[in-house]
Amino acid sequence: MGTWTWFHKLASPPHFYRIAGKMIPWYAIPAALLIATGLYGGLVLAPPDYQQGDAYRIIYLHVPSAWLGLLCYTTMATAAAVGLIWRIKLAHALAAATAPIGASFTLLALATGSLWGRPMWGTWWTWDARLTSELILLFLYFGYMALRSAFDDLTRADRASAVLALVGVVNVPIVHYSVTWWNSLHQGSTVIRSGGPAMPPSMLVPLLLSALGFTFLYAALACVRVRGEVLIRERNASWLQELASGR
């Protein structure tokens, strides 16, 4: 029994299909609890900001979705690299399943930021480094999904889109550091910064809970979507027919 046996076993579609199915509630229930607690803490319990009043409370949606937008891209690119290097089909399935989720989170981050920008900056949109790089991130997701859909052959779609996902990785650090590198209208990082978070715990804890909840939500959605991808890819496999007829 080698150390990697569990890994190879996990990469086999039937095994993964079963495990992922079992894992969905284990991700979805904590996600619901954490997001509910985080939002209650953020929208009701946390004190209003001394400058922004109640308008700042949109961060409890905005920051987690922006964070997930980047996390999803990184996950997608890592999975794509794993799929490309070791030719693991399941990794490609994970990358393909992640793209629409990441695009949705990025869109949500842009939309909530825009809603907040209207009262705070006096504009829905501004061509600022953070906003522009986030928009480019959304375009990269669109490009990835468009490239996938342009191939009839799944193996080709997997490998071509994996190359694109890896090329697009250059944008991830640009999004993250855009507020540091440029004099941006978007405020700098308040949570991850040297000298500790610049927020009182009553505001910070709900934000972290919400971010953790969003991460669990991604895991749950990814399980559902990868199962879908496995069904498409293995539609002619005997184990699926046994599974379908056995019920």
Partner 1 sequence: MSTLTTALPRAAWLVLERELRLAFRRWEQITHPVVFFVMMATLFPLALSPEPALLRTLAPGVVWVGALLASLLALDTLYRGDLEDGTLEQLTLTGQPLGALLLAKTVAHWLLSGLPLVVAAPLIAYALAAPGEAVGTLMASIALGTGVLSFVGSVGAALTLGSRRGSVLLSLLVLPLVMPVLIFGARATDLAIRGEPSTGPVWLLAAMLILAATLTPLATAAAVRVSLE
CB 242 to partner 1: min, Å: 31
CB 237 to partner 1: min, Å: 22
| 17 vs 144 by CB, closer to partner 1 | 144
| 120 vs 174 by CB, closer to partner 1 | 174
CB 194 to partner 1: min, Å: 26
| 53, β-bridge pairs | 49
| 41 vs 168 by CB, closer to partner 1 | 168
CB 218 to partner 1: min, Å: 23
- Which residues, 6 or more positions from 86, have their beta carbon under 8 angstroms from its beta carbon? none
CB 150 to partner 1: min, Å: 4
Binding region for partner 1 (CB under 8 A): 84, 132, 136, 139-140, 142-143, 146-147, 150-153, 155-156, 159-160, 163-164, 166-168, 170-171, 174
| 63 vs 109 by CB, closer to partner 1 | 109
| 131 vs 211 by CB, closer to partner 1 | 131
